[in-house]
Structure 1
Amino acid sequence: MMQNPQILAALQERLDGLVETPTGYIERVVKRRVNALKNLQVKCAQIEAKFYEEVHDLERKYAVLYQPLFDKRFEIINAIYEPTEEECEWKPDEEDEISEEMKEKAKIEDEKKDEEKEDPKGIPEFWLTVFKNVDLLSDMVQSFVLEFHFEPNDYFVNEVLTKTYRMRSEPDDSDPFSFDGPEIMGCTGCQIDWKKGKNVTLKTIKKKQKHKGRGTVRTVTKTVSNDSFFNFFAPPEVPESGDLDDDAEAILAADFEIGHFLRERIIPRSVLYFTGEAIEDDDD
């Protein structure tokens, strides 16, 4: 009987119906166990949140040790502190070593250049070079703040521009299974006090319009948004409902990626991005 194709087909159809039907026999038997697994999953998410909380505490502990080094880096870049000969001594890797003859030639050329122009202050265009060397940027309730310090310039008054990121490090009660570690929930930029006519986030365009009736042509001037790094400090605002259009979501997603990359990679290893060495590591 079990070899009868019609009987086998009917049985298979019956089994498929039981599996797909929410009130089917299989679900009634297994439902309690599945619920138990879900409860275990919630507990896993809670333990994972505790793990990330302790990781964050550890990061804060070591941030205190890093800070004096970052402060000295800031002073060297901005010509506040001149490093000693001992601090400037650097032994390159064997693959980077050059012959004594080349070293002597380079030394003579450097001396000639030094005679021709005055000694630059600190390390000129350090952060500009770093950002240009990073593809992610060149096209561009735990929280962290990114501070960008600027020398006096012709474009804006601010000495410091800030970007604050708000993070969530524990599961959402309404959707605990989506937890996959700390995530950025939102960000806030700052107001840039642009000098008159120097706002690089805006550009003026001129368009010619033809009057339908009279046929006369006039020129209309319009101010529109312009692609600029400084748009980084004016992210889209998230409404209370949390609903965003596709463009705003894409902008925020890219913004979060950039903010995380700056914090975790660029700032701790900036000199290697300045020299280009870190880019090779990222490519590998």
Structure 2
Amino acid sequence: LSKVIAFVFPQGKGGNKHFQSDKPEGFLQAERILNFHLLPKTVKRRVYALKRLQLQSANIEAKFYEEVHELERKYAGLYQPNFDKRRDIVAGAVEPTDEECEWQSDREEEELAEDLQKKAALEEKQADSAGADDPRGVPEFWLTIFKRVDMLAEMLQEHDEPILKHLQDITVKFSEPGQPMSFTLEFYFEPNSYFSNTVLTKVYKMKSEPDAEDPFSFEGPEIIDCEGCKIDWHKGKDVTVRIVKKKQKHKGRGTVRTVTKEVPQESFFNFFNPEKGKRKCDLDFTLTTDFEIGHFFRERVIPRAVLYFTGEALEDDESVRLLSCVIQDLDDEGEEEDEGDFDPTVSI
């Protein structure tokens, strides 16, 4: 279970908590090395053999994750017809049949308090009398998801919302067999007054192999780079920048002129260009967050979109988060119990 959770929510280098000691890390590292070198030569040779076996295991684990990626790619094709039907229903291109709309929770509506039923009936009657049109599809489906999910809501700005009302679908595409491991998030938009693109993409490049310099740190596939796309904004519609006006006085003539300048501003659409508006010292943190968001779209939001729309998946996410924390705490307790001074002179 912990391996599955680690694959779905990889922590990456530096993401794991470690046992806290009063001794400086450099001292602990030197102490461990010193203790190892105090071992008899014959024992050290055997330990080196064990490390070679561990390296072989790491390489086998890397192959395991490569096959997992291929399995994901295979099943993505099986999921796609369902996702296509979801897109068509959300956009209003297809009206589901009565049979397709049957759901056991309809009984819950019958169990509503009598006053709520009366209120709902009154509102429905008022809407009918006002000649209200039946909305097409599921209005603001993806925008509602963005607002419900904390990780996405933090990226969302008020000026992004009118644009995301035009978002029709989000899909994930895996790299083809024989190609370097990667996945692409595709955001499909209906024609709108903000940009001419119909699809915005974000490619995440991955590797599943132990690092040559630190092979024992391997814990599964790692995102090594990402690449956004160019957004073809219509004039004056780019929400990733704002116009600043500044008055300048000519030193010689004393005349004053107004100069306009574009400066970066917060927007979800910076997701497609994560370096925009970021200082170099903030870049590593930005990319780390970017990778987490990419995984979250791929593993949770896209496969379970309707449950995020209704809010049901938010409770599941909290349960997974708590379970992951419990597993991590158990791992940390194990590290704490194992931590201690090793004395090679003690006989066992």
TM-score (norm 1): 0.80
1:219-272 CA deviation, whole Å, 9 max, x = no partner?
5533110100100111339xxxxxx94311111101100000000000111111
How far apart in 2 are the matches of 1:78 and 1:93?
23
The partner residue of 2:203 within 135, 149, 164 is 164
Which range moved further: 29-38 or 164-173?
29-38
How far apart in 1 are the matches of 2:37 and 2:56?
28
Q: CA deviation at 1:91?
A: 1.6
The partner residue of 1:257 within 279, 292, 297 is 292
Q: Which residue does 2:216 correspond to in 1?
A: 177
Q: CA deviation at 1:281?
A: 2.4
The partner residue of 2:241 within 202, 209, 212 is 202
How far apart in 2 are the matches of 1:132 and 1:18?
50
Alpha carbons 1:156, 1:198 under 8 Å: kept: yes
> What SS does the corresponding residue of 1:206 show, helix, strand or coil?
strand
1:83 aligns with 2:118: no
> What SS does the corresponding residue of 2:197 show, helix, strand or coil?
coil
Q: Which residue does 1:191 correspond to in 2?
A: 230
Q: Which residue does 2:145 correspond to in 1?
A: 130
Which range moved further: 111-120 or 209-218?
209-218
Structure with greater Cα Rg: 1
Which range moved further: 274-283 or 263-272?
274-283
Q: Which residue does 1:282 correspond to in 2?
A: 317
Letter of the 2:142 counterpart: W
Letter of the 1:122 counterpart: G
1:59-102 CA deviation, whole Å, 9 max, x = no partner?
22322221111000000011111011111122229877425774
Q: Cα 1:280–1:29, aligned 2, differ >3 Å: closer, same or farther?
A: same
Match runs of 1:29-40 below 5 Å: 29-40=42-53
Q: CA deviation at 1:172?
A: 2.7
Letter of the 1:26 counterpart: L
Which range moved further: 84-93 or 109-118?
109-118
Which range moved further: 228-237 or 41-50?
228-237
The partner residue of 2:124 within 93, 110, 114 is 110
How far apart in 2 are the matches of 1:147 and 1:124?
20
Q: CA deviation at 1:112?
A: 3.3
Letter of the 1:150 counterpart: F
> What SS does the corresponding residue of 2:39 show, helix, strand or coil?
helix
Q: CA deviation at 1:19?
A: 7.9
> What SS does the corresponding residue of 2:195 show, helix, strand or coil?
coil
Q: Which residue does 2:135 correspond to in 1?
A: 120
Alpha carbons 1:18, 1:26 under 8 Å: kept: no
Which range moved further: 153-162 or 46-55?
46-55
How far apart in 1 are the matches of 2:292 and 2:74?
24
Q: CA deviation at 1:215?
A: 9.9
Alpha carbons 1:19, 1:26 under 8 Å: kept: no
How far apart in 2 are the matches of 1:23 and 1:69?
56
Alpha carbons 1:19, 1:27 under 8 Å: kept: no
TM-score (norm 2): 0.66
> What SS does the corresponding residue of 2:151 show, helix, strand or coil?
helix
> What SS does the corresponding residue of 1:119 show, helix, strand or coil?
coil
Letter of the 2:120 counterpart: A
Q: Which residue does 2:3 correspond to in 1?
A: none
Q: How many residues align?
A: 262
Which range moved further: 269-278 or 91-100?
91-100
Q: Cα 1:255–1:79, aligned 2, differ >3 Å: closer, same or farther?
A: same
1:41 aligns with 2:80: no
Q: Cα 1:213–1:181, aligned 2, differ >3 Å: closer, same or farther?
A: same
Letter of the 1:168 counterpart: K
Larger RCO: 1 or 2 (CA < 8 Å, sep 6+): 2
Q: Cα 1:18–1:148, aligned 2, differ >3 Å: closer, same or farther?
A: closer
Alpha carbons 1:143, 1:166 under 8 Å: kept: yes
RMSD: 3.1
Match runs of 1:204-283 below 5 Å: 204-207=243-246, 220-236=259-275, 245-283=280-318
How far apart in 2 are the matches of 1:24 and 1:256?
40
1:33-64 CA deviation, whole Å, 9 max, x = no partner?
33222212211211211221222222223222
Identity of aligned residues (%): 61
Q: Which residue does 1:98 correspond to in 2?
A: 112
Which range moved further: 254-263 or 204-213?
204-213
